Structure 1
Amino acid sequence: MTRLTQIAQHADDLDRAAAFYAVLLGTDAVARFDPPGLLFFDIAGTRLLIDRAAPSALLYFPSSDLHEDLRRLVAAGASVESEPSPVFTHADDTLGPAGTEEWQAFVRDPEGNLVGLVEQRRVTA
């Protein structure tokens, strides 16, 4: 298996979740089936299923500007769980571009799910 087809995230209020994830992803949902309460987004060919029956998942999304993304997401109903901070430096390309420092921040979406944001910052001497 070479790629992820679908990941599910819990939401009790599909309208609220649709509004938040549209801001987070920069695109509207591609499909909704209600009942039974299923909402789908396309993330580069992987389906994000927002489902009343799904468990909560910790999702990480890339960011080019953590501070700006946090501002947008808070305006969309998220609460900041953890401010941007460096996690580690990539010495090689195993988990990210060599010579970058990985910064992460976390928010709670309006449904209470934890969402991670990840920015790669070039290390400067």
Structure 2
Amino acid sequence: MRLVQVAQHADDLDRAARFYTALLRTEPTAMFDPPGLLFFDLDGVRLLLDRSAPSALIYLQVDNVHEAIERMGGAIEVVTPPHVIFTHDDDTLGPAGHEEWQGFVRDSEGSTIGLIAFQRP
């Protein structure tokens, strides 16, 4: 079994498309409006931005949390600044010998997103 799709609430699909295109550095794969669906491909998992979906707390892996936030500039509200939450001694939850950095931001639609990066100390 594998995860196929995650849905996130979005009121304004055009605004959400601009936000997520900038954050993810990729264009949407499909938009169907009506009924109000916007898709991005996240390495084989679909991110569905949907007017009727509830808000979810999703975590997205980025190369560097600080750089991702800086790159977004004023288009992103930082909820919790980047910080190390864990150092991985083995590969159970992340790559061994890496610190796990997380920061939380609010997307264009008001939902909180976790950004995660694995970096060597």
Give the TM interval when normalised to the shorter protein: over 0.9
Q: Which residue of 1 aligns with 2:76?
A: 78
1:83-104 Cα offsets, whole Å, 9 max, x none, are 1111011111100111111110
Q: 1-side partners of 2:119 and 2:38: how far apart?
A: 33
Q: Which runs of 4+ in 1 moved over 6 A?
A: none
**Unaligned stretches of 5+ in structure 2?**
none
Q: Alignment identity in percent?
A: 60
Please state if 1:5 is matched with 2:4.
Answer: yes
Cα RMSD after superposing both structures: 1.1
Whichever residue aligns with residue 101 of structure 1, its letter is E
1:9, distance to aligned residue in structure 2 (A): 0.5
Q: 2-side partners of 1:42 and 1:101: how far apart?
A: 26
Q: 2-side partners of 1:31 and 1:119: how far apart?
A: 27
Q: 2-side partners of 1:115 and 1:24: how far apart?
A: 11
Whichever residue aligns with residue 107 of structure 1, its letter is V
Please state if 1:38 is matched with 2:37.
Answer: yes
Q: What SS does the aligned partner of 1:116 have?
A: strand
TM value normalised by structure 1 = 0.92
* Residue correspondences, number: 121
Please tell me whether the aligned partners of residues 79 and 109 of structure 1 are also in contact (alpha carbons under 8 angstroms).
Answer: yes
TM value normalised by structure 2 = 0.94
1:18-52 Cα offsets, whole Å, 9 max, x none, are 00011111111111111111111111111111000
1:53, distance to aligned residue in structure 2 (A): 0.2
| Correspondent of 1:91 among 89, 106, 119 | 89
**Unaligned stretches of 5+ in structure 1?**
none
Q: 1-side partners of 2:109 and 2:19: how far apart?
A: 9
1:68-125 Cα offsets, whole Å, 9 max, x none, are 10012234x22011111110111111001111111101100011111111111213xx
